[in-house]
Structure 1
Amino acid sequence: MQIRLNPFVDDCPECGFDIRVWDVPDAIRTIRYARDLVALACESMDPALLDAQIGDLPSIADHVESLTDVLRSTRNMIMRTNEDDRHDSSLQSILDTVHHEATATGNALRNLTSAELDAALPDADTGHETVELAIRHLAHAVLHQQAAIGRTRRSLGDALTIGVGEVIQVSGSGGGLPKTPLLTARVDKSGVVGDRQASRRHHGAPFQALCLFSAEVIEDFAAQGHPITYGSAGENVTIRGLKWAGMRAGAELQIGDVLCRLTAPAVPCSQNAPWFTDGDFTRLSHDKHPGHSRWYASVITGGAINPGDPVHGL
């Protein structure tokens, strides 16, 4: 099934995309990460669900192929090339195609000059004027289809089953770790208002607006003698009661007033070494220790998050 996704939308009520909080570096980083964002949304999925449909609704394969088409066609438009499309059947081959398109697109876009970014987009049908806007809207295409995969899995009966949790602490900082407790967190599409990252190279994109972590995982580390506590690892929201190993990208969470969508596990770095007696921060790695990672989330609807607020998957 061919999906006619129009990525040229400034404010998307379906996935929460808001062009006002996106810049070009964040957008290109998101585009280059597209394969992983899609793969994470399909993690632990029954392969039979890939092509399953309910009525005339698109399948998960349709959503992924739509993303590859948008990446390719927009790159062709910007770079004035004419690469042919590719259609695949298995999940691995589809992900390989996403990887090819995302890498090729990201590599081409990150080398554009300021003048090229400001140039008119060579397709009047889009209704947008510059290449820079097209790049930001490509980030929308990536996250929109990740969200669509999550919704489709839920519609097919593969819903998130993590129980109901409670916010234990909300945290923020002016940059760096640890983050310290806040009485309340005001959240918008950029994340916790007033919270900052010391480095934006790998952090702070809108798909990383919130960082969530499990109180039980933190307490288990502390019980082993590691000097870690709530907020140490940089999470904004510390949650007790959820089945943390069941968290997955593309799923939505209601946290207090805030509706958010899980996008990716946070990749640990050396800034987290002080919280472990031997400095082994890879204990926080999703790849090495599933169920022990922090999770990033994008914000669909902002609001307030307070200690004691309920948390549940949708």
Structure 2
Amino acid sequence: MGIVVSVNVGRVRDVEWGPSAIDKRPVAGPVAINELGLDGDEQADRRNHGGPDQAVYAYAREDLDHFEGELGRELRDGRFGENLTLRGVDVNGALLGERWRVGGALLEVRSPRVPCGKFKAWLDERGWVKRFAAEGRPGAYFRVLETGTIGAGDSVEIVDRPDGGVTVAESLRAYYGDRELLRRIVALERRSAKWDAVAEHYGA
């Protein structure tokens, strides 16, 4: 069983590389969550971020610690734009379709975080997109199956783990064109509709 280290939200603001809400900051107290995410949280690019299948982004504190060592700099909770900073749970080893009870909400794993140019600009690290992808620590997007509240200190419990699934880390490789993994993903009952489009793009 894991724990919520912090709950992070951000508002859209104009920066030199365009409007963005990637600057997520920890908030105190329990935060209500609905089908589109946490109260007080926004997305600037609603075509590529947000929506029911990307309502919540979670990242492990252990993975932030790993990148602190790799980059030689402090990475506070929320620095990667995650809504939930978690500890003691394998976010990247979670299976697509896996269901987690987080505080008072029930969440379902849907997809990995795919690094983009704004993420690179925000971190200001040379070659960051390729470097982040190669590490296999993308974190996970979740769909909200049951609304509720989530706060720092809440438990994270895996309540349902489907058989023969694909992990979050593996699914990032699928997104970049691993046809075998894509075929396994499109066979899953609990999958985001975006995977069908990705599989069609690669002819999987």
Distance between the aligned counterparts of 1:177 and 1:277, measured in 2?
Answer: 15
Shift of 1:211: 0.5
Equivalenced residue count is 148
Q: Which amino acid aligns with 1:194?
A: G
CA contact (8 A) 1:216 1:240 kept: yes
Q: Look up the match of 2:108.
A: 261
Is the 2:92–2:139 contact (alpha carbons within 8 Å) kept by the matching residues of 1? no
2:129 aligned residue (272, 277, 281): 281
Contact in 2 for aligned 1:211/1:297 (Cα 8 Å): yes
Q: Which residue of 138, 160, 175 maps to 1:293?
A: 138
Match of 1:218 in 2: 64
- 1:173 is matched with 10
Deviation at 1:174, TM superposition (A): 1.1
Distance 1:166 1:172 in 2: 18
- Asked if 1:272 corresponds to 2:119, the answer is yes
Gapped runs of 5+ residues in structure 2?
13-20, 160-204
- 1:180-259 pair list within 5 angstroms: 180-183=25-28, 184-224=30-70, 225-259=72-106
Kindly indicate whether structure 1 or structure 2 has the higher relative contact order, using CA contacts under 8 Å at least 6 residues apart: 2
Q: Which amino acid aligns with 2:9?
A: G
The TM-score with structure 1 as length reference comes to 0.45
Deviation at 1:226, TM superposition (A): 4.0
Q: Determine if contact 1:222/1:229 at 8 Å carries over to the other structure.
A: no
SS in 1 for 2:135: coil
The aligned amino acid for 2:115 is P
Q: Which residue of 1 aligns with 2:188?
A: none
Q: Which has the larger radius of gyration?
A: 1
Deviation at 1:294, TM superposition (A): 1.8
- Can you give the 5+ residue segments of structure 1 that lack an aligned partner in the other structure? 1-163
Residue 312 (structure 1) aligned with residue 157 (structure 2): yes
- For 1:53-104, what per-residue CA distance to the aligned partner results, in whole angstroms no more than 9, with x for missing partners? xxxxxxxxxxxxxxxxxxxxxxxxxxxxxxxxxxxxxxxxxxxxxxxxxxxx
The residue number in structure 2 matching 1:127 is none
Judging changes above 3 Å, is the alpha-carbon distance between structure 1 residues 227 and 276 closer, same or farther for their aligned structure 2 residues?
A: farther
| Structure 1 counterpart of 2:46, one-letter code | R
Corresponding letter in the other structure for 2:86: I
Deviations 1:125-147 (A, max 9, x none): xxxxxxxxxxxxxxxxxxxxxxx
The percent of aligned pairs where both chains have the same amino acid is 30
Counterpart in the other structure of 1:36: none
Deviation at 1:171, TM superposition (A): 0.4
Q: In 2, distance between residues paired with 1:226 and 1:281?
A: 18
RMSD: 1.6
Compute the displacement of 1:228 (Å): 2.9
Give the 3 Å change call, closer, same or farther, for CA 283–258 of structure 1 in structure 2: farther
> 1:283-308, CA deviations, whole angstroms, 9 ceiling, x for partnerless residues?
433xx333x11210000111111101
TM-score (norm 2): 0.68
Structure 2 partner of 1:148: none
**Match for 1:223: what amino acid?**
G
CA contact (8 A) 1:219 1:229 kept: no
Following superposition, the deviation at residue 279 of structure 1 comes to 4.5
Shift of 1:223: 2.2
